[in-house]
Amino acid sequence: MANKLCFEAFSKILRDILRDRHKYSSDKPFGQKYNDPEYLKEREILTPKYELVHELNDVIMKMILGEVRTYYSCDNVSKASTKTGEEDILYPTKFLNNMRFPRIPNHDIHLKVGIPVMILTN
């Protein structure tokens, strides 16, 4: 378990970064409102379907001013065996890029400055 001071230092760094970015920066999670259950209950959004998550993300993305930047994952089929290129016919790149799965990131990610991003690792 990390020391409490590590989290406090990280919180201060994030507050410095987010300060005066836009008018809602005081409502950011590290703006000391994250430990108020009533504040969080008013803002939580639970969705029963995976498609609804993307619709909500699009609505929130439109609310934030700024230019959208799109980042793509690798977009080719691995040549793991010595076949004659049948992989390109069976699994076209366009088909693979349009597949959507729960708990797996999409092929493209749309981001704006000021949108929170959570990075998780094992």
Q: Are 112 and 67 in contact (CB under 8 A)?
A: yes
Vertex 27: Cα angle to 30 and 34 (nearest 5): 45
DSSP calls for 59-76: HHHHHS-S--EEEE---S
Q: State the Cα–Cα distance between residues 52 and 29, nearest whole angstrom.
A: 23
* pLDDT confidence tier of residue 37, bands split at 50, 70 and 90: confident
List of E strands, the chain: 69-72, 108-111
User: What pLDDT digit, counting tens, does each position of 38-89 carry?
Assistant: 766 676 667 777 677 778 778 878 888 888 888 887 766 666 655 556 666 6
pLDDT surpassing 80 at residue 22: no
Quick one: how far is CA 108 from the chain centroid?
11
Q: State the Cα–Cα distance between residues 114 and 22, nearest whole angstrom.
A: 8
